[in-house]
Amino acid sequence: MNNATRSVVIVGGGTAGWITAGRIAAQHKTNSADGIRVTLVESPNIPIIGVGEGTWPTMRNTLIKLGISETDFMRECDASFKQGAKFAKWVDGSEKDFYYHPLMLPQGFGKTNLIPYWQKYRTNKLDNKSFSDAVCFQEAVCEQGLAPKMITTPEFDSVANYAYHLNAGKFATFLQKHCCEKLGVTHILADVVSINSADNGDIASVNTAQAGTITGDLFIDCTGFSSLLLGQHLQVPFIACDDVLFIDTALAVQIPYESEDAPIASHTISTAQEAGWIWDIGLIHRRGVGHVYSSRHTSEEQALQKLREYVGPAFEKISVRKIFIQSGHRQLFWKNNCVAVGLSAGFLEPLEASALVLVELSASMIAEQLPACREVMDITAKRFNETFRYRWARIIDFLKLHYILSKRTDNAFWIDNRDPTTIPESLQELMNLWRYQSPGDHDFTSNNEVFPAASYQYVLYGMGFETDTQYSQHLMNEETTSAEQFSKNQKNIANALRSLPSNRDLLNKIREYGLQAI
């Protein structure tokens, strides 16, 4: 059974299927005579979920790896720029309650720890700036509705680090065309009706209603929540984490802009509600808005009313899509010759847009470490499983962090989230540590981290957490350096506000003129 890996079969399309197909095809030269054959089998009768509209900056590298023009991508996928997330009403629910998790590292990060000096200035009331505003110019850029670059900035380059907001349905179609026409992926529209096993338990082939039997050496499950191959056929259990993350339902809508020149936010807006939160994502032609909530803490009728209040009069003219969320992941992500990517591997609430980055990370690892033959596939599978068990656990920790720092008491949802029995031990240990020292790279020793220490800093200090520095006063000997860094950030803010265009203006120019190719 030591067959060479020559044929990869991906079952399921959507963003997960096509990103994975593209990464493998590009890496292994599918469009050449001796390349790995990549086949994507997609049902013509099952629509994609299509609500994953937020990405990470990693998407820029993914597009580069696939050989995609940023201009083409932005035009075809209604894409806009994303410079981070604004969290409103998460601490106490007041109108002035907000903080940012930008996509740039704090000023001087890795050289100078500005946190104790920022805390000291705030205590002395010399400066009342939020943490992100004091150490990063991106909050000011977002608050002013500005873009992260200029029309003269080449494709994928930036002034401020950025990701994208995109139309997930159009993105999948765009990727499909690129993968088939440029990368040599074979696309088969067919419904999988049964799965055939080899003697060793591997998947030998899939039977389809329209295209007969399709064989392969490696099968990738991108069948969404059904997890047809890994979950149903190979019987890999699902591990729920709804005892940690309570969100289980989403009500999603699409809102047209009031006018063609309406501002487009260059960040995701997450506004806390009584038993969940509302996302607000600005695309070029519309906004994607949705209320995610815990059905254990509120009713659908109440959740719908909160969404109606948020959207305003336009709500009466739109349709609402209900999506069930089962937070958790498979016990294994790769078993035998089958690996799951996307929703078939698991799903968590979209608070920090982790869904697409997990697809990217999975596709990248599969492409870069594709087993040469069956003999070494189990070794690769073991490493893959260890890597992604760790990544999923860290994402769960990071999402939970947002809830345990809230001081809201208007619903049991927030109170229950602060119950220590719902907080992973790994996060409790870090929180105890950070009472006396601020988060740093030394707290995260794996090379498989998803969120850097800076992300924890933005959330912690954005939500009012304080680190007790009385035990480390002897280390505070960089007053001059810290003052220089704070001053440098203020200059960066002034320069950015002076030079960057509005997000809407830049997006219009990209559609008209395009960006300079690399």
**pLDDT at site 170:** 95
The whole-angstrom separation of Cα 159 and Cα 161 is 7
The whole-angstrom separation of Cα 185 and Cα 62 is 17
**pLDDT at site 412:** 98
Q: What are the sequence ranges of the domains in the chain?
A: 7-53+167-240+327-392, 249-324
In contact, 65 and 26? CB cutoff 8 Å:
yes
In contact, 508 and 147? CB cutoff 8 Å:
no
Concatenate the DSSP letters of all residues of 287-317 into one string: EEEEEEE-TTTS-HHHHHHHHHHHH-GGGGG
3-state secondary structure 175-195: HHHHHHHHCCCEEEECCEEEE
Token readout for 316 is 């009466």
Residue-level length of the chain: 518
In contact, 7 and 216? CB cutoff 8 Å:
yes
Query: Long-range contacts for 386-390 (Cβ within 8 Å, ≥24 apart)?
Result: 387/448, 388/329, 388/333, 388/345, 388/358, 388/361, 388/362, 389/333, 390/446, 390/448
Token readout for 476 is 């505070």
CATH of domain 7-53+167-240+327-392: 3.50.50.60
In contact, 341 and 220? CB cutoff 8 Å:
yes
How crowded is residue 296: how many other Cβ atoms within 10 Å of its Cβ?
Answer: 13
Query: Which residue is it, tokens 């803490």?
Result: 297
Contacts of 302 (CB under 8 A, 6+ apart): 274, 275
**pLDDT at site 122:** 78
Mapped onto helix, strand or coil, the DSSP state of residue 238 is strand
Q: In 3D, which of 245, 251, 185, 233 has the Cα closest to residue 9?
A: 185
Q: What is the mean pLDDT of each run of 10 residues along the chain (518 residues)?
A: 91 96 97 95 81 88 98 97 98 96 95 91 71 97 98 97 96 97 98 97 98 98 96 98 97 94 97 98 95 98 98 94 95 98 96 95 98 97 98 98 98 98 98 96 89 97 93 80 94 98 98 90
Q: Which residue intervals of 325-419 are DSSP H helices? A: 354-368, 374-404, 412-417
**pLDDT at site 1:** 65
